[in-house]
Amino acid sequence: MVGSAIVKQLKQEGFTNILTKVKKELNLINQDQVHNFLKVEKPDHVIIAAAKVGGIYANNNYPAEFIYQNLMIEANLIHGAYLAGVKNLLFLGSSCIYPKESVQPIKEEYLLSGILEPTNEPYAISKIAGIKLCESYNRQYGTNYRSIMPTNLYGPKDNFDVNNGHVIPALIRKFHDAKVNNIASVEVWGSGMQLRDFLYVEDMAKASTFIMNFDIKTFNEVTSPMLSHINIGSGREATIKETSFLIKEVVGYHGNVIFNADMPDGTHRKLLDIKKIEGLGWKPNTGFKDGLKKTYSWFLENY
Ligand code: GDP
């Protein structure tokens, strides 16, 4: 989802020599394959959007896959980029790197100040490791490896699996299937009171190239060697209940919504503080309902 949106954005900005690989062509978990690929291609810039990702259920049930695959992807690409002499790299993380009980909105400097949310701790640890890999290579080898931490994303090409997807694609699928099959109610996990900061993926793609293109002098002025990651969020939050009713409306489902409190809520809130990137000149511009409508249109055309 994120990789495709970034490629689209790069093309819009006039980049032409964009190299992408699917898993069958290049397995990012395989060190030899990744190192050889980077040595041969010697890209000017590497963007790491690839990751093993999933919603609360997947993170909670496949923790070994989440920590192992993400650590390997990051270590292979970051070390491989360094060995191939690649100067510039952009690493994408996640807002789950922050402590569960963070003061809100969450500032970049709250990283490593408390205990993580248990449902996605293995994934979060791998993403923290990615930031620290970038910073360590910058400090020791003078590279320009930057990290950005997006909030909960949604949009075209998301994973619409009802069990393993994130909440927005899973609920689009559930409400759509219930509408088509005349099912009386749809189940939403948790209390409904949890809050999330949802950003449309095309806004995220714009933020990614914005940070990638930023001149190094200004970038270094707003970051420091051991606190270099930048938050990317929507600047607003919605409860899961509000979100469910908005998706219900966008899909046009008229049945009931049932909240299943036996399913996990995860962290209560994780609103990112986006003052840093806003100060540099980026801001989100897709309204929530608008983004949901675009996502549902994509779903209708592709499923
Ligand atoms: P999280 O931000 O890492 O917790 O990722 P998710 O997108 O998986 O979940 C966000 C919130 O939505 C959690 O509080 C879930 O309990 C809630 N939620 C409600 N219904 C669903 C659903 O059908 N699928 C998912 N993944 N989450 C749901």
Instruction: State the pairing for strand pair 198-200/144-150.
Output: unpaired
Residue 123 appears among annotated catalytic residues = yes
| Cα gap 200→180, rounded to integer Å | 26
Q: Would you state the pLDDT for residue 35?
A: 98
For the residues 115-139, what does the mean pLDDT come to? 98
| Cα gap 233→123, rounded to integer Å | 19
Q: Would you state the pLDDT for residue 52?
A: 97
Q: Would you state the pLDDT for residue 164?
A: 94
pLDDT tier, 34 (very low <50, low <70, confident <90, very high otherwise): very high
pLDDT tens readout for residues 242-283: 999 999 999 999 999 999 999 999 999 999 999 999 999 999
For the residues 290-303, what does the mean pLDDT come to? 97
Cα-to-centroid distance, 108 and ligand 1 (Å): 23
User: For 158, phi and psi rounded to 5 degrees?
Assistant: -70, 170
For the residues 23-52, what does the mean pLDDT come to? 97
Q: Would you state the pLDDT for residue 145?
A: 98
Helix or strand (DSSP H, E) at 129: helix 121-141
Instruction: State the pairing for strand pair 256-260/152-154.
Output: unpaired
Instruction: State the pairing for strand pair 238-239/195-196.
Output: antiparallel
pTM: 0.97
Q: Would you state the pLDDT for residue 202?
A: 98
pLDDT tens readout for residues 106-125: 999 999 999 999 999 999 99
Q: Which residue do the tokens 């095309």 mark?
A: 202
Alpha-carbon torsion angle 206, 210, 213, 214, nearest 10 = 180
Of all protein residues, whose CA lies closest to atom 19 belonging to ligand 1? 189
In the sheet that holds 144-150, the strands lie side by side as 45-48, 88-92, 144-150, 230-232
Cα-to-centroid distance, 31 and ligand 1 (Å): 33
Residues having CB within 6 Å of any atom of ligand 1: 55-57, 96, 120, 152, 165-167, 170-171, 188-190, 194, 196, 240, 263-266
Question: What is the rounded average pLDDT for all residues in the chain?
Answer: 97
Q: Would you state the pLDDT for residue 187?
A: 98
User: For 36, phi and psi rounded to 5 degrees?
Assistant: -65, -45
Cα-to-centroid distance, 114 and ligand 1 (Å): 22
For the residues 77-96, what does the mean pLDDT come to? 98
Q: Would you state the pLDDT for residue 278?
A: 98
Q: Encoding tokens for residue 79?
A: 């070390």
Q: Would you state the pLDDT for residue 82?
A: 98
Q: What DSSP designation does 144 have?
A: E
